């Protein structure tokens, strides 16, 4: 008996495996993720501070209100505009720290938190101005 070398299976080598066809996901480097998260959180702090003064002036919207105005809704809108962005910031800070501790990407979350702070402020303004007309 002669030993012949085994011929490689031609069908196995012609089709690439699934690990070869899928490209690896590109992730943001860890240092860049931390830096961007800190920058976006700092920008969110500046945004929250900048929104405090206009929120305080929303109280004056009730001055032009006549008899059918609901002052409770106006006060709720002022409260949402005044305290809402700060609450969103604190929640965003906590979740961003948890994401960074778990070594998950957190910079996008902190950017969306800043947008959410602005949207909560605008919701409070909308509550005030819908009621005052």
- Whole-prediction pTM: 0.74
In order, the DSSP letters of 28-51 are --HHHHHHHHHHHHHHHHHHHHHH
86 close to 46: Cβ distance less than 8 angstroms: no
pLDDT of residue 84: 95
The reported pLDDT for the residue numbered 21 is 62
Cβ contact 30:36 at 8 Å: no
**Which pLDDT score is estimated for 133?**
66
Q: Structure tokens of 40?
A: 């976006």
pLDDT single digits (tens) 39-51:
999 999 999 999 9
d(CA 80, CA 119): 11
pLDDT in tens, 105-133: 888 999 999 999 999 999 999 998 887 76
């Amino acid at each position: 008996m002669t030993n012949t070398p085994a011929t490689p299976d031609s069908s196995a080598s012609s089709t690439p495996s699934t690990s070869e066809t899928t490209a690896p996901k590109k992730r943001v480097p860890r240092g860049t993720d931390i830096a961007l998260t800190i920058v976006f959180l700092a920008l969110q702090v500046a945004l929250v501070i900048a929104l405090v003064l206009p929120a305080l002036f929303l109280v004056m919207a009730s001055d032009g209100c006549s008899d059918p105005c609901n002052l409770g809704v106006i006060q709720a809108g002022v409260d949402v505009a005044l305290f809402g962005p700060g609450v969103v910031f604190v929640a965003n800070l906590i979740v961003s720290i948890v994401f960074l501790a778990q070594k998950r990407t957190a910079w996008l979350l902190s950017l969306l938190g800043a947008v959410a702070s602005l949207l909560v402020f605008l919701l409070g303004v909308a509550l005030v101005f819908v009621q005052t007309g």
